[in-house]
Amino acid sequence: MSSIAFVLQKIRTKSPLVHNITNYVVMNNTANALLAVGASPVMAHAIEEVKDIVTISSSLVINMGTLSEKWVESMLMAVQQAKATKTPFVFDPVGVGASAYRTAIAQKIIETATPNVIRGNASEIMALAKVTNSTKGVDSTMDTKDAIEGATLLAQKLNNTIVISGETDYIITGDNISKIENGSPLMAKITGMGCTATALVGTCLGVEEDIHLAATVAMAIMGVAGDLAHEKSAGPGSFQMNFYDSLYELSPEVLAEKVKTNA
Ligand SMILES: Nc1ncnc2c1ncn2[C@@H]1O[C@H](COP(=O)(O)OP(=O)(O)OP(=O)(O)O)[C@@H](O)[C@H]1O
Ligand SMILES: Cc1ncsc1CCO
Ligand SMILES: [Mg+2]
């Protein structure tokens, strides 16, 4: 079995507990996607329990889509605990750059504990690269390719993996750049597909120690499930429903066969 297929196989056999502190908009979509693929999601943000939940989880997902002060406290506590317990964690810097507050919180999270993976769209990754790589500016257009230079610098500076999602996904670790060229334009017409991608990265981190491989497989699962759902769907509504079914039905063998990648 290929290494990509084997990661999906491990999700099915181990059903990792994935701790999500995510936004109000996507909590339900994200939990359903993780259940469909074979993981066990838990959404928990109360400051009183966040440390306990990190400790029992296989991985942590931090998503700053709908920030507020109390949640930020919980996020910081969670990432500190993840660092202490060596629990892998992925960060989704939703809308970083759109407000000074979002930018400050994204920086604070990254400074508190380095995420193993950061996943964002091209403009988010570029905004983050711009504030983090203070010696080098990056372009202001929003094409995924333009974000690669910034992402590469960011990945080197943080010594982690950066994922840029879009029509083509780029997974960047050091000099290694993997690409995934599956998926559907309908994925950008449903809220929270990016958040789902991030939560799938968290899921793969829960079963696979090779961080670059885990992030690549997560984007491969998104893309291939997106292709399969696209064939059956008339628009965003049916796509969302079919996407869950595709995640549920996707076999490790079909994933390996249909993924379009250089990895
Ligand atoms: N035009 C496209 N063709 C193929 N796949 C796409 C396309 N646009 C987005 N995707 C896929 O959709 C998923 C979400 O990526 P996207 O870049 O849209 O995230 P996002 O902007 O953070 O989304 P959101 O904030 O709504 O959650 C990824 O798996 C990506 O590969
Ligand atoms: C629409 C939206 N607003 C804040 S979070 C979110 C979900 C997509 O990230
Ligand atoms: Mg997003």
User: What integer pLDDT is reported at residue 138 of this predicted model?
Assistant: 37
Tell me, what's the pLDDT at 132?
74
12 is in an annotated binding site: no
Residue-level pLDDT at 75 = 98
pLDDT at 143: 62
- Condensed to tens digits (0 to 9), the pLDDT of residues 24-76 reads 999 999 999 999 999 999 999 999 999 999 999 999 999 999 999 999 999 99
Q: Is 193 in the pocket of ligand 2 (CB under 6 A)?
A: no
Per residue in 132-161, pLDDT (tens digit) is 754 443 334 456 767 899 999 999 999 999
Q: What is the distance between the alpha carbons of residues 97 and 246, in angstroms, rounded to a whole number?
A: 34
* Distance between CA atoms of residues 147 and 253, nearest Å: 32
- Atom 3, ligand 2: which residue's CA is nearest? 65
Determine the pLDDT at residue 131: 83
Give me the mean pLDDT over the 159-164 stretch: 98
**Checking DSSP bridges between strand 40-43 and strand 17-21, what pairing results, if any?**
parallel
Q: Is residue 158 exposed (0-12), middle (13-18) or buried (19+ Cβ within 10 Å)?
A: middle
**Close Cβ partners of 5 (under 8 Å, ≥ 6 residues apart):** 252, 253, 255, 256
Residue 119 assigned ligand-binding role: yes
pLDDT tens-place string over residues 170-217: 999 999 999 999 999 999 999 999 999 999 999 999 999 999 999 999
Which tokens go with 39? 């993981």
Beta bridge partners of 126: none
Contact (Cβ atoms closer than 8 angstroms) between residue 70 and residue 47? yes
Ligand 2 pocket, mutate which of 61, 92, 94, 102 (most atoms under 8 A from CB): 94
Domains of the chain: 3-256 (3.40.1190.20)
What percent of the chain lies above the pLDDT cut of 90? 92
pLDDT at 1: 87
Query: What residue spans of the chain are helical by DSSP H?
Result: 3-14, 27-37, 50-56, 69-85, 100-112, 122-132, 144-158, 193-205, 211-232, 236-249, 252-258
